[in-house]
Structure 1
């Protein structure tokens, strides 16, 4: 669900997003992905965090229950083990199930490392016959964590506030992660201008395990819909055994010449 965000106004965002989730469910979606920090924008304001299971997670759970779908997106959540929040991807199910992944790579260039804590590792969730691994925005630049989860993943979810200035990186990396891991990649990026002046172009898309673009969006609020199938992932990996051929390598430094 490609959408704009009202800066640091949770109530306004909940009011705007609820009818969009309903529209997605009516269109046949079974999993609805919102943007990174969907309820606040990508804010570094001290105190922007909320308790784990706070209003943003509750909104996702309420929408999931109301429409009988899975709903996910990220929000700033403070856990019991420290004062700074995590950029936490929350995936809520229609039966009340909630899964969490904490963003591994705070965006140092934007100062996120000073306001947010880093997570510990990838998380893979099984929904029906799909193995789903979520990541958040800047994580997309780090191929190794995608590789780490690849053999147990059918679909990667990537939620983002990716700036328009680097939109080529966003689109290229989404396709690259699909091709090299032979898995679907669902990239959801926001549109509009953030409170800090950053412009976002959207470019949300769903990519097939071969890199084919199944559905794409331009720079407006819209739905991006496509079917994903675990059997198609298995067939792609069986037909082109690139993933099976991947090997772990340990770099050996070159020997220095004797003098």
Structure 2
């Protein structure tokens, strides 16, 4: 189908408290009164953007994964967001794409935020993820990835929607609000970006500014400062029309990414 219904949750997060976050998210998601195809939560939605990976990491069969299975099944939709995962003695900032039947895909954050020492506590991923939902090709990414357009380049029209989950601080919100429309326009794709709100445990304030931008840079949804659980629809025909009217993706430079 050409129409995709998305529910974004720009939420406050309880610092390093998995149980409290899952309880709160369950309560708030309970106010959803319409069907949706996709629920999007922020980066590290069960803990906040914490570097205490050793104490907060869960296994892939942990409580947050089980919670995601329950929520996807309950709302009969995909639910996504990133969590802290330990696997083979390494820690990952891992986005989970959980389907209502309990199957999932995952993406490990490629670009770790050195300024916040994320690279000292987590292992970077090396592979992009492309998933399909109702005929849409979707590329999930995490926060700092937004600053790296080559990593997110829509080579060979691999995706129709770029999905960003984040814990992006208010004092760099101008960058966030500028980069998201740029990624949409240059890749001729929708960009759905979901951030958190409120102060974290380091007293860093997050202003949200979650948004949806269409392939021409038009704002479909934008919400600063306040917590917001919001459902909207996007139409794949807008992608098709944008690429047909200005077919510049086919003229893009060819390149190959290699691991460093």
Q: Give yes or no for TM over 0.5.
A: yes
Q: Find out whether 1:172 has 2:178 as its counterpart.
A: yes
Matched residue count: 247
* Aligned match of 2:5: none
CA RMSD of aligned residues (A): 1.5
* Aligned match of 2:74: 66
Counterparts of 1:30-69 in structure 2, within 5 Å, are: 30-45=37-52, 46-69=54-77
* Aligned match of 2:3: none
Secondary structure, counterpart of 2:151 in structure 1 = helix
* Aligned match of 1:254: none
In the alignment, which of 140, 162, 171 is matched to residue 168 of structure 2? 162
CA deviations over 1:56-110 (Å, ceiling 9, x no partner): 2221111000111111000011123xx2311000011112121101100110000
Kept in 2: contact 1:215–1:224 (CA 8 A): no
Question: CA 1:150 to 1:194, structure 2 compared with 1: closer, same or farther past 3 Å?
Answer: farther
CA deviations over 1:6-62 (Å, ceiling 9, x no partner): 0111110011101322334x2443201000000001111132211123222221111
Q: 1:224 & 1:169 partners in 2: Cα distance?
A: 23
* Aligned match of 2:221: 215
Kept in 2: contact 1:49–1:84 (CA 8 A): no
Q: Find out whether 1:236 has 2:242 as its counterpart.
A: yes
In the alignment, which of 77, 86, 96 is matched to residue 85 of structure 2? 77
Q: 2:61 & 2:105 partners in 1: Cα distance?
A: 11
Q: TM-score, normalised by structure 1?
A: 0.91
Secondary structure, counterpart of 2:29 in structure 1 = helix
CA deviations over 1:224-259 (Å, ceiling 9, x no partner): 332122332122111111212212269xxxxxxxxx
Q: Which structure has the larger Rg over C-alpha atoms?
A: 1
Deviates more, 1:169-178 or 1:232-241: 232-241
Q: Find out whether 1:128 has 2:137 as its counterpart.
A: no
Kept in 1: contact 2:154–2:187 (CA 8 A): no
Gaps of 5+ in 2: 1-8
CA deviations over 1:108-142 (Å, ceiling 9, x no partner): 00000000000012100011201111000000000
Q: TM-score, normalised by structure 2?
A: 0.91
Secondary structure, counterpart of 2:152 in structure 1 = helix
Relative to total residues, which structure has the larger strand share, 1 or 2?
2
Q: Find out whether 1:203 has 2:229 as its counterpart.
A: no
User: Greater relative contact order: 1 or 2 (C-alpha under 8 angstroms, separation 6 or more)?
Assistant: 2
In the alignment, which of 90, 113, 122 is matched to residue 116 of structure 1? 122
Return the offset for 1:149.
Answer: 5.1
Kept in 1: contact 2:14–2:20 (CA 8 A): yes
